[in-house]
């Protein structure tokens, strides 16, 4: 597939850009933060996004989805990145919803996906147990019982965990921490006995929760996919999530870069605009190169998911590593070039930097992905 947008995708981009600018500009995130909003986003707006077809963008029409692809989701996420729209695409669409799509039984899909597409049902995937992303280091145990399983363990950084209606829990049914095999996914009601969910307050003002499981009992129908083979579902989820976050980061990077160049053309010191200084020009031009080289890899990675290409994982790592690094460069340079005002809460550059850092550290940072890329390339 070509690395340029089709006419339909261009239209979608316009719609998304327009919606994000009007309905969820950066000030929207600031209001949610300052009012200590309980959900961290507006349910009403999420429903509006669902009506535009975005919540169900990946899902089959039979469940009420738009049945488009990642190329289209990427377009939407990029625009959301530009305005820091804090909506539950990752938790509910990319992780929860897609886990059900990839691994769920017909009954599970029927039960979950229509609600997701409508913007009603919220999901969360609870897999991580420590700060750094190490996908299979899972100690949470699921012991077999007469009727199903009993799960105990602690999860951290569960995106949108505190608002989710259902959690998908990754727990160990065999093997030990670090093993790829032996992980099983369970679809669990957020109200289940023994489940404690606590929202954590994070730098990007988005939602993540700690989840404690203290002997949560589920019956056999709660298993998502097959016992011990949860990694077969998790791996494609992580690849897609890394690519989707990269698409969001493209939006952030482009926005911050454009704002910074604009600032270089307006701020005056020594009687001239600061953009006349060669030291800044060269750094801006170097940034331009990094920004430009960050676009095509994400477009290609999104298409690789849609086309089910064998090089998908390698591209996912290439995209996530590059966008993590470019976002870090552009937000840090952007802030520096704004001078003192860049340090203030009032100037929005800091909000972009915070979100970029969170996206960078989610689903593997650049050193994680460089190492993985090397492994996938045989060194």
Rule CB under 8 A: which residues touch another protein? 2-4, 261, 264-265, 273, 275-276, 278, 281-282, 284-286, 288-289, 292-297, 299-300, 304, 309-311, 314-315, 317-318, 321-322, 367, 370-371, 373-379
Ramachandran region of residue 308, left (φ > 0), alpha (ψ -120 to 50) or beta?
left
CB of 292 to another protein, least distance (A): 6
Report the half-sphere exposure of 247 (CA within 13 A, side-chain side): 26
Q: What angle do CA 246, 109, 121 make, to 5 degrees?
A: 65
Helix (H) or strand (E) holding 200: strand 195-201
Q: Cβ of residue 184: shortest distance to another protein, in angstroms? A: 28
Which residues fall within 8 angstroms of residue 23, CB to CB, at 6 or more apart?
Answer: 45, 48
Beta bridge partners of 186: 169, 223
Q: Tell me whether strands 195-201 and 183-189 are parallel, antiparallel or unpaired.
A: unpaired
Q: Closest Cα to residue 173, out of 232, 230, 105?
A: 230
- The sign of the torsion formed by the CA atoms of 24, 29, 34, 37 equals positive
Q: 222 vs 287, which CB is nearer to another protein?
A: 287
Closest to another protein by CB, 200 or 377: 377
The residue among 21 and 281 lying less far from another protein, judged by its C-beta, is 281
| Residue 295 C-beta: closest distance to another protein, Å | 7
Nearer to another protein, 2 or 146 (CB): 2
For the bound state, the minimum distance from the C-beta of residue 315 to another protein, rounded and expressed in Å, comes to 7
Which residue's CB is nearer to another protein, number 167 or number 330?
330
Q: Which is nearer to another protein, 340 or 378 (CB)?
A: 378
CB of 172 to another protein, least distance (A): 24
DSSP labels for 205-241? S-EEEEEEEEEEEEEGGGEES-TTBTHHHHHHHHHHH
Closest to another protein by CB, 173 or 246? 246
1's CB contacts (< 8 A; 6+ apart) are 71, 303, 306, 307
Compare residues 94 and 321 and give the one whose CB is closer to another protein.
Answer: 321
Q: 3-state secondary structure string, 119-179?
A: CCCCEEEECCCCCCCCCCCCCCEEEECCCEEEEEEEEEEEECCCCCCEEEEEEECCCCCCC
For 101, the enclosing helix (H) or strand (E) is helix 98-103
Min dist. Cβ of residue 307 to another protein (A): 8
Q: Are 294 and 360 in contact (CB under 8 A)?
A: no
Question: How many CB atoms neighbour CB 165 within 10 A?
Answer: 17
Shortest CB 2 distance to another protein, Å: 5
- The answer to whether the beta carbons of residues 356 and 328 sit under 8 Å apart is yes
By beta-carbon proximity to another protein, the closer residue of 199 and 309 is 309
- CB of 317 vs another protein, minimal distance in Å: 8
CB of 379 to another protein, least distance (A): 4
């Amino acid at each position: 597939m070509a690395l340029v947008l089709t006419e339909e995708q261009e239209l979608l981009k316009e719609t998304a850009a327009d919606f994000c600018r009007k309905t969820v500009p950066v000030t929207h995130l600031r209001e949610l933060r300052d009012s200590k909003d309980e959900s961290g986003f507006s349910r009403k707006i999420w429903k509006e996004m669902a009506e535009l077809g975005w919540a169900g963008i990946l899902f089959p029409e039979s469940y009420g989805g738009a049945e488009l692809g990642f190329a289209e989701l990427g377009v939407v996420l990029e625009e959301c990145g530009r305005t820091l729209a804090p909506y539950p695409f990752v938790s509910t669409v990319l992780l929860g919803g897609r886990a059900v799509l990839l691994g769920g039984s017909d009954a599970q899909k029927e039960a979950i996906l229509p609600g997701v597409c409508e913007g009603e049902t919220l999901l969360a995937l609870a897999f991580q147990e420590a700060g750094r992303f190490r996908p299979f280091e899972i100690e949470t145990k699921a012991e077999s019982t007469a009727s199903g399983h009993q799960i105990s363990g602690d999860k951290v950084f569960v995106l949108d965990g505190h608002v989710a209606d259902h959690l998908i829990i990754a727990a160990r049914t065999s093997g030990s921490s670090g093993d790829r095999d032996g992980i099983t996914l369970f679809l669990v009601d957020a109200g289940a006995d023994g489940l404690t969910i606590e929202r954590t307050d994070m730098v990007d003002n988005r939602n993540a929760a700690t989840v404690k499981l203290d002997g949560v009992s589920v019956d056999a129908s709660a298993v998502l996919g097959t016992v011990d083979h949860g990694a077969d579902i998790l791996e494609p989820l992580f690849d897609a999530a890394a690519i989707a976050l990269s698409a969001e980061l493209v939006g952030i990077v482009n926005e911050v870069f454009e704002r910074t160049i604009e600032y270089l053309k307006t701020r005056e010191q020594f009687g001239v605009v600061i953009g006349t200084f060669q030291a800044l020009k060269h750094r801006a031009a170097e940034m331009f190169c990094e920004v430009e080289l960050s676009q095509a890899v994400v477009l290609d990675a999104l298409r690789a998911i849609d086309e089910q290409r064998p090089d998908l994982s390698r591209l996912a790592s290439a995209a996530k590593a590059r966008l993590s690094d470019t976002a870090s460069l552009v937000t840090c340079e952007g802030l520096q070039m704004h001078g003192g005002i860049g340090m203030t809460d009032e100037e929005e550059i800091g909000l972009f930097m915070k979100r970029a850092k969170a996206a960078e550290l989610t689903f593997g940072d650049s050193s994680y992905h460089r190492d993985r890329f090397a492994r996938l390339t045989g060194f």
